[in-house]
Amino acid sequence: WHKVILAASSDYFRAMFTLGMKESNQPFVNLPFLLASELEVLIGCSYSGILALSWSCVFEITSTALQLQYQPALSMCLNFLQQEINPQSCLDVASFANAYGMVQLLEVAEDFVLRQFQKVACTSKFKDLPAKQLLKYLNSLSLCVPSELVVFRAVVSWIQAKPKIRLRLAKELMKTIHFPLMTFKEFKEVRNQNMWSEHSLKELYETIFEDFCSIEVAPQNQCRIYLPKESLVLIGGDQISEDLGTRSISRDLWFGNSLRNHMGIKKAMEWRKLGEMPDPARFGHEVAVLKGQLYVIGGKQYYGVDDTLNSTYRYDPLRNNWETLAEMRERRCSFSVVVLDGKIYAIGGHCDPEYRDSVERYCPATNSWSYTCPLDLPLSGHVAKVLQGQIFISGGLNNDYLCLASTFLYHPERGSTYLDNMSKPRAYHCMETLGGCLYVAGGMTTHDNVNATDQLACEMYNPAADSWTSFPPLPVPHMGAGSAVLEGKFYVLGGYSQEDYSDMKMVHRYDPATQQWENMGKMPGPNNDIRATVLCLPTSKVLLKNHSSLFATSKVLLANLTVLNGRGLR
């Protein structure tokens, strides 16, 4: 009876037992390449559907499963390798995938290496990396490093693992480091590196030192360009003209093509235009991503009372086309949207002068909206997010224009369940899920329900403890900003100040690992009541090296650079 299971699970055994090979009639079959224990594990897996995997055995089992084309076990192994990949194992996974010609697994592994480079470079396995592969990583535009020092340290530790044979590669490796971007403090570590006492490296150090000191930096060295795997996309919004005379509403979509690390800690997002959404231009709208496609829903097309929208559009980034979908049953702006189980929920919002408590759900299969259980109260300027399969809603304004501190779970059939309140009321804020928690930043707050001010304080909700705790405040107000999570960091984009209604043109991002807000440069256009999301764009859009734009900005940068050369002050 094992035979049937074996034949069903494995192409190898199926061929052996069904294609009239002599083994199909033998009571015993010799499998000299296989350990009894390995076969036992695989057969057990076919019966139970369980395969106990760990890093100490997964490569062996995967290789056996591959030889036998043992499908059930193979897919479990591949899942394990992709999902459990970590800085200690990623280089092993990459070399395994390479050896067995597993293209997709190799891509996952190399991607991990590049995006977690700082951690990977500290592992012992890193020191065994072949030179060619190391250079490939160091020259990649997907190499993610917080500073050039990280690259320098990695190169030094790799060389020092086998100095005799690797010192002569030092020159080529050092070329991948952008020394002019280092601060004096960072360069001090380079200078103090005892490797330089090596006679053969004296000249190299002098070149590096000159490079660091030079004022006229070659364009390709003015910043390190990093291409994220997915792109931040900005949709719609409005902005005030330069003379502060008029406001304009936008149809534009922008995407962050690359991140640029300039000197020291100076960073910037390089934005490009992705396209335009169909008429009308809108702000206070909502966006969602479902199956890689972008949905743009509701909002306002102008500042009057009758300008709230119910229209819904879908954008397919691969085909670069827009589709008009069914309209919402109600017109909404300043509402919130989530995606849960393949459906889109539009929650609350307002349509002057009314605030809405209704919730409706969009089903892509039927292209229709239908009502689900309403909220307990009309709500606008709140944020809803999905965490662990549940919809969490924080803050907002009720229809007396009172700012709320409440947090609750919303269930489409069962309605609301209240949770721990935020420490202060908040509306028109940003909320994102990150690492199993909800992070809240920006927006406004009220004091004794009388006067409204910008809210700089930030807080984080832990569902396991049902409690909010604070994290470092934003450096500037961001009310009505867009937000998104890209590569484990919380981006807050644009918005304005509630206190003086000035536009906020900046992008900030919070890194939970360093617990710091970083300034990520300026917004490309509109910034108020704008929406942001993360999309996977086709590579034809993401231009690896657009020289014309690189050089256009480089002139400006060069001008800035001369000023910035007072980096010693840092």
Contact 143, 113 (CB under 8 A): no
The number of residues that bind ligand NAG (CB under 6 A) is: 13
3 state DSSP class of 226:
strand
Q: Which residue in the set 67, 88, 372, 421 belongs to the binding site for ligand NAG (CB under 6 A)? A: 421
Nearer to ligand NAG, 36 or 450 (CB): 450
Contact 182, 190 (CB under 8 A): yes
Task: For the CB of residue 300, give the shortest distance to ligand NAG in the complex, in Å.
Answer: 11
Contact window for ligand NAG (CB under 6 A) among 141-149, 344-352, 403-411, 560-568: 403-411
In the stretch 430-449, what mask flags binding to ligand NAG with x, by CB under 6 A?
-----------------x--
Task: For the CB of residue 316, give the shortest distance to ligand NAG in the complex, in Å.
Answer: 23
Task: For the CB of residue 398, give the shortest distance to ligand NAG in the complex, in Å.
Answer: 8
Spatial strand order of the sheet with 321-325 comes to: 286-290, 293-297, 312-316, 321-325
Task: For the CB of residue 299, give the shortest distance to ligand NAG in the complex, in Å.
Answer: 12
Nearer to ligand NAG, 104 or 451 (CB): 451
Nearest to 177 by CA among 213, 202, 150, 215: 150
CA distance 28 to 3: 11
Place of tokens 């590049």: 114
Task: For the CB of residue 461, give the shortest distance to ligand NAG in the complex, in Å.
Answer: 14
In the stretch 214-243, what mask flags binding to ligand NAG with x, by CB under 6 A?
------------------------------
Contact 442, 432 (CB under 8 A): no
Task: For the CB of residue 450, give the shortest distance to ligand NAG in the complex, in Å.
Answer: 5
- 282-299 burial by CB neighbour count: b if 16+ within 10 A, else e? bbbbbbbbeeebbbbbbb
Q: Which class for 432: exposed (0-12), middle (13-18), buried (19 or more C-beta within 10 A)?
A: buried
Nearer to ligand NAG, 114 or 422 (CB): 422
CA geometry: angle 562, 568, 570, nearest 5 deg: 105
Task: For the CB of residue 360, give the shortest distance to ligand NAG in the complex, in Å.
Answer: 10
Site for ligand NAG in 283-342 (CB under 6 A): 310, 327, 329, 331
- Main-chain phi, psi angles of 271, to 5 degrees: -100, 145
Which bin fits 237, alpha (ψ -120 to 50), beta or left (φ > 0)?
left
Contact 414, 433 (CB under 8 A): no
Contact 385, 392 (CB under 8 A): yes
- 70-99 burial by CB neighbour count: b if 16+ within 10 A, else e? bebbbebbbebbeeebebebbbbbbbbbee
Instruction: Give the type of residue at 80.
Output: F
Strand partners, 371: 360
Q: Which residue in the set 169, 373, 386, 405 belongs to the binding site for ligand NAG (CB under 6 A)? A: 405
Nearer to ligand NAG, 14 or 329 (CB): 329
Task: For the CB of residue 333, give the shortest distance to ligand NAG in the complex, in Å.
Answer: 12
Q: Which residue in the set 236, 381, 425, 521 belongs to the binding site for ligand NAG (CB under 6 A)? A: 425
Instruction: Give the type of residue at 59.
Output: F
Task: For the CB of residue 331, give the shortest distance to ligand NAG in the complex, in Å.
Answer: 6
What is the per-residue DSSP string for 343-408? EEEEE--EETTEE---EEEEETTTTEEEEEPPPSS--BS-EEEEETTEEEEE--B-TT--B---EE
CA geometry: angle 17, 18, 21, nearest 5 deg: 65
Which tokens sit at 88?
Answer: 């200690």
Site for ligand NAG in 93-132 (CB under 6 A): none
Nearer to ligand NAG, 189 or 376 (CB): 376
**Helical residues (DSSP H) of 162-304, grouped into ranges:** 163-166, 170-174, 184-191, 202-213
In the stretch 451-470, what mask flags binding to ligand NAG with x, by CB under 6 A?
x-x-----------------
CA distance 338 to 409: 13
Task: For the CB of residue 58, give the shortest distance to ligand NAG in the complex, in Å.
Answer: 48
Task: For the CB of residue 405, give the shortest distance to ligand NAG in the complex, in Å.
Answer: 4
Nearer to ligand NAG, 261 or 311 (CB): 311
CA distance 350 to 357: 9
Q: Which residue in the set 95, 301, 380, 406 belongs to the binding site for ligand NAG (CB under 6 A)? A: 406
Residue 477 carries which DSSP code? -
Nearer to ligand NAG, 450 or 569 (CB): 450
Contact window for ligand NAG (CB under 6 A) among 64-72, 130-138, 404-412, 467-475: 404-412
Task: For the CB of residue 526, give the shortest distance to ligand NAG in the complex, in Å.
Answer: 23
Task: For the CB of residue 139, give the shortest distance to ligand NAG in the complex, in Å.
Answer: 53
Which tokens sit at 234?
Answer: 């900005």
CA distance 40 to 38: 5
What is the per-residue DSSP string for 332-352? -BS-EEEEETTEEEEE--EET
Contact window for ligand NAG (CB under 6 A) among 27-35, 74-82, 294-302, 402-410: 402-410
Task: For the CB of residue 212, give the shortest distance to ligand NAG in the complex, in Å.
Answer: 48
Q: Which residue in the set 36, 450, 556, 563 belongs to the binding site for ligand NAG (CB under 6 A)? A: 450
CA distance 346 to 355: 14
Nearer to ligand NAG, 200 or 451 (CB): 451
CA geometry: angle 507, 511, 512, nearest 5 deg: 145
Contact window for ligand NAG (CB under 6 A) among 199-207, 263-271, 353-361, 398-406: 398-406
Nearer to ligand NAG, 257 or 446 (CB): 446
Contact window for ligand NAG (CB under 6 A) among 155-163, 230-238, 401-409, 430-438: 401-409
Applying CB under 6 A, does 202 fall inside the site for ligand NAG? no
Q: Which residue in the set 134, 235, 249, 404 belongs to the binding site for ligand NAG (CB under 6 A)? A: 404
Nearer to ligand NAG, 324 or 451 (CB): 451
* Chain contacts with ligand NAG (rule: CB under 6 A): 310, 327, 329, 331, 404-406, 421, 425, 447, 450-451, 453
